[in-house]
Every structure is written in structure tokens, then in C-alpha cells.
Amino acid sequence: MGRSRADVTWDGRPVLAIESSCDETAVAILDASGAVLGERVLSQQDHLPFGGVVPEIAARAHLAHLPGLVRTVLDDAGLAVAGLGAVAATCGPGLIGGLLVGSGLGRGMALSLEVPFVAVNHLEAHALTARLPGLTADGAPFPYLLLLVSGGHCQCIAVEGFGRYRRLGGTIDDAAGEAFDKVAKMLGLGWPGGPALERLARDGDPKAHRLPRPLIGRAGCDFSFSGLKTAVAQRLAALPAPLSAGDAADVAASFQAAVADVVADRVGHALAVMPAARLLVVAGGVAANGALRDRLTTLAAARGIGFAAPPLRLCTDNAVMVGWAAIETLRAAAAAGIAPDELSVPARPRWPLEEMATRFAVGVQA
């Protein structure tokens, strides 16, 4: 007979992590120090004809590929499944079908191995990525300001400690990544549009079109990109058809510059209300955009604080960040004297970061 789950604790052996919240099927294994022993990401291609992620297709792809991906990563790490000390999986927020597939596999593995299961919040995983060993010179001590910018999220978050997050502002309509994808579609670039638009913008003049900068200069840290997207559509309608390569590049460059201006302004406001922050961290898929990184690097330097952005492979959805969030969770649970097992935490499409404050009675500081 197996042990009671109340007796299951982490013994410091490697953690296997699963990410399946959207259209990336990802698995990684990290050791107790956070070193990556193996990782794989499978980017689903079946959504391309539809111009966006189809939830049912994503869930079926996760179901088809996750077991084989787990075996491959175990082989990469040189581990047998019995050598794992914990299993983690993203349980939200995200597309519920994919979350159920990934978390279901993770729970089953944890039960069979009699090791802890960690239910990871996808947003928290992004928030803690900068603390991965070797990414920042000082290990990204708390507190710091996080700009989480992706296809589904655009938020300024005060990261005050493990499990302690304060949302300072967010988008009131489209997320920045969503706006990138929609403008890219207007330009005939297909999906996903962000990387293609950035490549096109390199050949364009960012001052060619005067586009609005929504909310710029206003109080607060909220974002808005819907009006900017509409303005781009109006500019394209006024240009000669068919659209020339030069005109397309100019529109792309002008749009990208407008987004960078808006984000820099909003982040500047967030830093003003978080004077204790000595570090600005950007995470999420749009954090891979070079123009945006340049603007934020300049902003941080002007404020006399550090700037940290994950390497490009860790900006988009990945299992390394899930594994690291699990390690931080396991450490915090041990410090609080709590059994680090979360089999009962359900998969959920919405999971606000603010709810993480009630996870443990005792928080962990840097």
C-alpha cells in the first residue's frame, strides 16, 4: 500500500514540468538548483490555416504528443521516471482543454511515483522566470516590477515576494500581442504575426505614419491598443492597393514604434508608484520583440535600475519556467512546514495572480 499523500514530501530530486496552457506542448526537467537537465517544446502547426489557436485542436495535440515528449526529455536528462522527486504542471490560466490534458498527466505521474504534485500558475511562472539561476547577475531579488506582455496578457505587476503580487495596471481591451497578430493579419503576414511583423518593420520608417499613442501621458498604468489597431486599419485603407512592400514595412515600423512608446510610458508610471523596485523585468511572448526590449532597456537605465529579460526561448510558453516556479513553491512549502502536494488544485481557465497570496501561511523572501 502506498504512503498517505500527507506524508509525501520533496526529497530534492529533479522536478519534471509540463506546460500545455495554449498551443505549445512543452516538457522540462530541472534539478533542485534550477539547472535544466532536459527540455523540449513542440510548437503546434495545425492552427495556421485558421489564423489563431483552435482550443479543441490544441487539446488533441497535447494529448497526442505529451507522453512521447515526456519520454524524450527523460532520455535527454539521462533519468528513469523513478528518479523524479516531484511533478509539476500548469493548471491555469489558459485553454481548459489543454490544461486538463497536461495537469491530468502530471497528477497521474505524481500519484504513481508517490511524489508531490505542484499546480503551477502560468502567470506566476512568467513572473519568476527572471530568478532562474544565471539569468540575472544578482538573482533578481524581490521586489521588482514585472511587465507581462503576451498574446493574452498585458500587465504591470509588483512582484513583492514569492506569492505576493500586486497588479498595478493592465489592458482595458486588446493585449499587445493580440494587437501585433491582428495588424500582421491586416498586412497579410499570417499567424502568428508578431515575429513576422518585427522582421518586416526592420525595413520600414517608424516615422512614416502618425499613429495614436493610447493613454500615453495619463495617470495610472493601464494599457489600450484597440484604438491603435483601428488607426492602422484606416491608414491601410487609405494607401494604394495592392499594398507595396515599402508601404507595408512603413506601416509595420510605425505600429511597432507606437506600441513601444505606449508600453514605455505605462511602465514608467508603474515604476513611479513602486519606488522600491531596483529591477524591471519583462516576460511573455512579446518580450522577444527587439524594439520593445531596446525601449525598456533605455527606460531602466534612465531610472537607474536594472533590466532583465529572459532569453528568447524562455519568453514564449515553455516548461522550464513551470519547473522553476515549482521549485520556488516546493522551497516555500518546506519553509512554511507545509506538505507541498497540490493534487486537489483544479485546472482553471482563469487564475488571478492575487490569489497566490493565500497559498502558504508563510511567504519566502530573497
Q: Which residues are annotated as a binding site for substrate?
A: 148-152, 181, 194, 198, 289
Give the sheet arrangement for strand 144-149, strand by strand.
164-170, 154-161, 144-149, 279-283, 306-308
Evaluate whether 162 touches 178 at the Cβ level (below 8 Å). no
Packed helices 176-186 and 245-272: angle between N→C axes, nearest 10 degrees? 170
> What is the C-alpha separation between 321 and 319, in angstroms, rounded?
5
Residue in the structure block whose three cell numbers are 504591470 = 156
Q: Binding site: what residues are annotated?
A: 122, 126, 148-152, 181, 194, 198, 289, 317
**Sheet holding 15-19: strands in order across?**
36-43, 24-30, 15-19, 86-92, 117-121
Report the alpha-carbon distance of residue 342 to residue 325 in Å, rounded: 14
Q: Rounded to whole angstroms, how far apart are CA atoms 308 and 319?
A: 19
Which residues does 76 contact at the CB level (< 8 Å), separation at least 6?
29, 37, 38, 39, 40
- Four-point Cα dihedral 161, 348, 284, 296, nearest 10: -50
* Binding residue numbers for Fe cation: 122, 126, 317
